[in-house]
Chains A and B, each alone.
Chain A
Amino acid sequence: MAIKLSLSLAALMLTLTWACGRSKKTPAPTNDNRTSISATKATCPTDKGAKTDFQRDLRPTILSRCATCHGGKAPAAGVSFEGFPTSSIGVDDIWEKGFDRIVTGTMPPGGKGVEACFKRTWKSWLEARRTAFLTLDESPSEAPLNRLSKLEYSNALRDVFGTDFVVFAAQHLASVPNDDASGGFQNLKWSLGSAHLNAYNAIAMSAGEWMESDPQLHARFFPCDANGTSTRACFLTSLENLGRRLFRRPLQAGEMEFLTGLFDAAASPSEAVQDALLYLLQAPAFLYKIETSGSVVAYGKSGKSLRLDAYATAARLAFAAWKSLPDDQLLNEAKNGALETRAGYARAVARVYADGRAREALIGFFHQWLQLDRTELVSYSPDFLDGINPGTLAADMKADMSAFLSLEIFKKKSSLETLMTSRRVTLVSKTMAKIYGVPLESELGTELILPEHERSGLMTRAAIVATGHDESSPIPRGAYLRKILLCEELIPPDKARFPPGAFTPPARVEGVSMRETWERKTAPTACQSCHNRINPMGFAFEKYDGLGRFRTMDKHLASHGYESGTDIDAKVRPNIDAEDTGFVDGPVELIAHVARSQRFRLCFASNGFEYAMGRNGTPSDAVAIRKLSDAVGRSGTPLFEALQAIPSFKTFRERTLKK
């Protein structure tokens, strides 16, 4: 009996020892019920308080959880996580965006979610990366050769020859093809065809014809002799000055020699003028922005870049601010070295931006950035228009936008945030009065304040919210707003992964609001990866009908007239930043939320930068764009003033050399 008891006790002791030993080695199960790769490993790296190392702490999980789709030869949506991040953080940084996606539950697809440790590790790493990014220096960037855009070309002719020549050559100018705007702004993408060469040739010929059609015109450019006979030296000097303006630099010896030869061979001064213009207006130095002159400077530890010479800098300044050639004063400042001094350059920048052409160019930026030409496509039903003339609608909306921009940016000197939230309006027409719900007897040109809950700044103007047809179109609106405000390019879905009919627009049913119609349609998980970002923007803007009029009811227009409608529910979760958990109600609150977000400021800065520079941003520009984002986001700083930071960037005065 005692032996049995001892043995039992011993067995019990052994069992207890074994069980306790095992329990020390086996971690307690976590509360996270997701499939976890690291759950069986030790505690999360961030819990240790040490600095997160990308290679050690984050990359293995990213490769196993993300790179199976976002990797390989054909990564999903063109985004690959197999590489390594750079220290620069651009507006479309995939590591920032990837984090957003997993926090908002958009990725991984299928609603599988990720473990909390993964999120914390990624967040910790991003925070450290952002901090490091703030300390980086600017770097120069590439500058692909490009021709003058159609706008720059036209402005160049206007500024050199005058508006009367632009009128004279209007038909030929109209035949210059419109620029490829697929890069975001006109002419960021390269395009050239026979139509361009035809037009340039025709305009060069008409310039000579025009100039020689009237002795006074001739004298304007060749003011050599009141009797109409020009001395050779005087004439050649005038040609040289004309050439300097058009080429944005002094003529080289060979060029002047050629022009002299033309003059000497011509039968008359008139023929010489026409020949000279044929040459000057078709030469590469006029048609192209050639930026290969300057001095090579060291950059970084072992790099080299080209610091542009004064003439190339003057040209960049003029194209950035005016979308035109530098004037004589800028060229003189280039010649006398003023642009090489800090004070002289600052004075030049100030003068250039104070010029009326800078205002015109900035209004042009908004028109292009906001794609206001979309307003030209209208097909409203007469009942819906309620007496509004569709023929003048597009023009009225654009005029309203231009008036708003002029008022806010130049008169009120508003900051970017104010531009996005201001309720001011300058009435430009009765049509706009009708759309904005302002009394029709209000005097045109007066400055009014729109109701607080109805409009908020730039993005609630009619030109932005009008859809072009009777329906409100929340999905295209939402996609447009995300692209414009947050620089989000939404990749079209792979249709093979969706059932038949997935992309057929849903029919409207009586009693069911537009929002509900689309919520049902886009409810499947496969749709939500994009629609959980598109839909909130579009639904918040359901407060505007297809014409941009404010409304509280969603009425479905049937062929027999309006049906009774449903109250509009515009409360949404914006899903702009990763930690966006709150709700906003309607467009005013949404826009206020957007205006405060870093993402929006960065997107705006990125667009402003590209427009000024006349090229797409590259990773090398990230620091410059970040600085511009800080400048435009500074509370109380007038936007126009903030944008004048661009000519001070290193990438403005330098460029990398060829690859």
Chain B
Amino acid sequence: MTVAKNSALRRRGFLKLAAGGLLSLPLLESVDLRGMGLSSAGVQHPRRLICICSSNGQHGPHWAPRVDALGASFPLSDITGDISSILGSGFNRLKNKMLLLRGLDFLPLDIDEHWASKSMNGYGTTYNRKPTLDQIVAASPGIYAGEPTMRSLFLMAPGGRTGGGRLVTSTYSYAGQGDDTAAILPITDPRQAFDALFRKGKEQPNNPRIADQIRKQYLRLKSDTRLSSLDKSRVALHVSLFDDLERRLAVRASTCSTTRTIDFPPNEGNYREQMRSQFAVAALAIQCDLTRVVRINLGHGADNHDFRFLPGVLSPAFHETTHEDSPQALREVEIISRCQADLVADFLATLDQVEDPGTGRTFLDNSIVYWSNEVGTRPHAAPANIHDSLDMPVLIAGDGGGVLKTGRYIDYRRKDVFKRWQNAECASGVCEMDASHSQLGRPYNELLVTLLDGMGLNRSEWEKNPGDGFGDYRGNELGQYDLRTRDALPDLLNT
């Protein structure tokens, strides 16, 4: 986490300007476009990263077109009508702004099936705490021209997997370096997320004198010679977050406008209502430029939300349904997945409706929206989820300010090259499997490198040594995947 120099002076000056009492927070019909004090001067196309994470995988025939079109690459606009039964009409007018990718395989050893941050840091090992994509980008000095209101925003629907344990902690983001990272937890109440961004209500900024004293005490603690370097990094994180808090308290977000209002669900509402609110808060935060890094989880690891509010869904537990071997279960998985996809489509449409001021492009255009999953795409037969991490379902929207070549369906599986399996039951190491899992794809790591490159980060910000790549590359004992260079996916980035 970086802390800008001279932030104390800048903060005091800003607070003086902002003095004048609280402004109530209308939803948000008038006024100027940009959040106060957050200048993007010098950055014509501010890039934004929005990571959407799903759970329980996708069922191939529901998810992507032409599952047998191995190795194919064609414009999404070639598909007439809906892309698939899950990627429905909400995506149709965004086809030229999307990338639908197949054939990306997770390499790591010890793949822990339901590990909801797997697609965020490229590690599958149980209890891994490696830094996640959103936090690496949020900490990059190139992302924000000035001091952001919130360096990153992490949202999720409440419920769906209670009881702690790794399925909950697997959903966290991690900030820091190596294994000494801090877990960043999601905000599960959309009202709380909104308040955190806009400080609606009676709250006022901390008395500057108090804020300064608190800050000084943390800095003094950080300089205690009896603290280890790990302890000091923890204190540094607290200081950074405290500074973010002060900025949020000071920002008068009523200067931001939006074309949509947020209807928070009454009481707790159902899953769809909660997630709609979360997506709405995220869109608002992006459009008001209060943050440029968002992560939205559609559920915990092995998400077990109750979707019986959807017609046709009888099972109370999403995750259990994905493991059931029956036509009814498969149908229910399709309905639920479609519901989640529609939420994503609405969100993309919201971002695409509003111009990113001064750029001539929309907020979607200037973002990279990365929708991933914690397990792979299940080929043909039921059940929908078999816990592997092959052919991970990925949809990207937005071109990050022109850095990505969008509008395509790309299948990285190689038609005539098969995976080899290291077990005695496959003669000469080659097994017959369902199509889409037997053909060799590309390492998922390459996608993660692509996203980091696309967000404009220097590789030294996330690569310990040049050529290390990103994530875990260890699951290649049979030498199937070409890892001579641990680089980005070919032909996705505009160079």
Contacts and interface: CB of A to CB of B under 8 A. Distances in A.
A306 interface: yes
Interface string A330-347: 000000000000000000
B33 interface: no
Contacts of A507: 325
Which of A142, A192, A196, A258 is packed against the most chain B CB atoms within 10 Å? A192
Contacts of A500: 421, 431, 433-434, 437
A178 B127 CA distance: 17
Contacts of B248: 198
Contacts of A657: 226
Interface in A186-221: 186, 189-198, 201-202, 205
A371 B241 contact: no
Interface residues of B, number: 83
B166 to A, nearest CB: 6
B334 interface: no
Main secondary structure of the interface of A (DSSP, over half): loop
Contacts of B437: 500
Interface stretch (B7-15, B59-67, B77-85, B106-114): B106-114
A496 B172 contact: no
**Which of B172, B217, B229, B304 has the most CB atoms of chain A within a 10 A radius of its CB?**
B217
Interface string B427-438: 000010110010
B414 to A, nearest CB: 18
A175 B210 contact: no
A582 to B, nearest CB: 32
A145 interface: yes
Interface in A375-417: 375-377, 379
A520 to B, nearest CB: 15
A182 B249 CA distance: 32
A292 interface: yes
A296 to B, nearest CB: 9
Contacts of A180: 169, 172, 183, 185
A290 B221 contact: yes
Contacts of A561: none
Nearest to A501: B386
B110 to A, nearest CB: 5
A203 to B, nearest CB: 11
A505 interface: yes
Interface in A15-44: none
A284 interface: yes
A145 B234 contact: yes
Interface stretch (A84-92, A234-242, A275-283, A549-557): A275-283
A56 interface: no
B465 interface: no
Of A181, A504, A658, chain B has the most CB atoms within 10 Å of the CB of A658
Q: Tell me if B's interface is mostly helix, strand, loop or mixed.
A: loop
A193 B217 contact: no
B207 A275 contact: yes
B163 interface: yes
A144 interface: yes
Interface centre among B164, B172, B387 (most CB of A within 10 A): B164
B373 to A, nearest CB: 17
B423 A175 contact: no
B161 A377 contact: yes
A195 B185 contact: yes
Given A192-B182, A278-B206, A497-B423, A182 B127 contact: yes
A495 B388 contact: yes
Given A189-B129, A192-B237, A497-B422, A201 B245 contact: yes
Contact of A194 (B126, B196, B204, B475): B196
Nearest to B425: A499
B169 A182 contact: yes
Interface stretch (B42-50, B316-324, B395-403): B316-324
A541 B248 CA distance: 54
B164 A178 contact: yes
Given A262-B209, A526-B423, A658 B183 contact: no
B163 A288 contact: no
A192 B166 CA distance: 17
Given A283-B217, A373-B163, 6 more contacts: A201-B203, A371-B165, A495-B111, A499-B426, A500-B434, A526-B423
10 contacts: A175-B189, A181-B169, A191-B172, A258-B213, A275-B210, A373-B164, A377-B163, A503-B387, A658-B225, A658-B226
Interface of B: 109-113, 126-127, 129, 150-151, 154, 161-166, 168-169, 172, 181-185, 187, 189, 192, 195-196, 203-204, 206-207, 209-210, 213-214, 217-218, 221, 224-231, 234-235, 237-238, 241-242, 244-245, 248-249, 304, 315-317, 320, 323, 325, 383, 386-388, 421-423, 425-426, 431, 433-434, 437, 474-475, 477-478
Q: Which 5 residue pairs of A and B lie closest in terms of their CB atoms, listed nearest first?
A: A191-B183, A373-B163, A182-B169, A145-B231, A181-B164
